[in-house]
Structure 1
Amino acid sequence: MQKSSDIRTGRHCVFMMHVHLVFVTKYRKKVFTKRLLMDTERYMRKVCADFESQLVEFNGEQDHVHLLVEYPPKVAVSKLVNSLKGVSSRMLRKEHFSWLKKFLWGCRLWSPSYFAGSCGGAPLQVIRAYIEQQNCPK
């Protein structure tokens, strides 16, 4: 059996798990510029690494972001989402407060809801292409 580079092994399991996440800004405020998206991606890559996960693809528009994350079975998606949103919000407010203050509602950057979709049914290339085609702000 040929081993795929996407398949990972744990102590007692072999896995290839991906989730497509979408986070929307509070009240769909058009917060993101290209620079803020780049910083958000950097923070989210670090959070994923802390969870032994990998941010495979990231992109967004002015009011939302898409992530394709590969993660191990021991990670609860809800805990990963909580950290991704919490850390990114804190760091963006810390570094870009003068820009963000006009968009924030009670210091909240993200809507409390999110989308999480399993990527087992569609080929990952299709999801990756969809995320790459987002209209990133200039």
Structure 2
Amino acid sequence: MTDAMLTRCEEIMRKVCADFEAELKQFNGEDDHVHLLVHYPPKVQLSKLVNSLKGVSARMLRKEYDSHVRRHLWGGHFWSGSYFAGSCGGAPPTAVKQYIENQKRPV
């Protein structure tokens, strides 16, 4: 992903989070993945939130950046089928935010 694509991806994911009454606290990424810090209510099923984040962003980014995206798809898929989710209840939120901020975002 390019910097412009990551900026658009963040906008899309903020909207998806808002639809789930969640808050995207921190976002950054590199050319092939993103990191999110999300605060979501207990009533939200994490798998459904992630599915929506990935599905909506894939559809919109493929539509808006089709010529770039087509060259870099994994077997026709925008995102891989997996994801990592971890709780940061024990870590200070500032440490997690700093980790996300320090990703090597493409220029």
**Band the TM-score falls in, shorter-chain normalisation:** over 0.9
2:96 aligned to 127, 134, 138, which one?
127
RMSD across aligned C-alpha pairs, in angstroms?
A: 0.8
Between Structure 1 and Structure 2, the one with more helix by share is: 2
CA distance in 1, matches of 2:106, 2:46: 28
CA distance in 2, matches of 1:94, 1:60: 20
Query: Percent sequence identity over matched residues?
Result: 64
Count residues with an aligned counterpart. Answer: 107
Q: TM-score, normalised by structure 2?
A: 0.97
Cross-structure match for 1:38: 7
Q: TM-score, normalised by structure 1?
A: 0.76
Give the structure with higher Rg (CA).
Answer: 1
2:53 aligned to 71, 84, 90, which one?
84
Q: Which runs of 4+ in 1 moved over 2 A?
A: none
Return 5+ residue gaps in structure 2 as ranges: none
Cross-structure match for 2:29: 60
Measured against aligned partners, the alpha-carbon deviations of 1:29-77 in whole angstroms (never above 9, x if no partner) come to xxx1100100100100000000000000000111110000000010011
Return 5+ residue gaps in structure 1 as ranges: 1-31
Between Structure 1 and Structure 2, the one with more strand by share is: 1
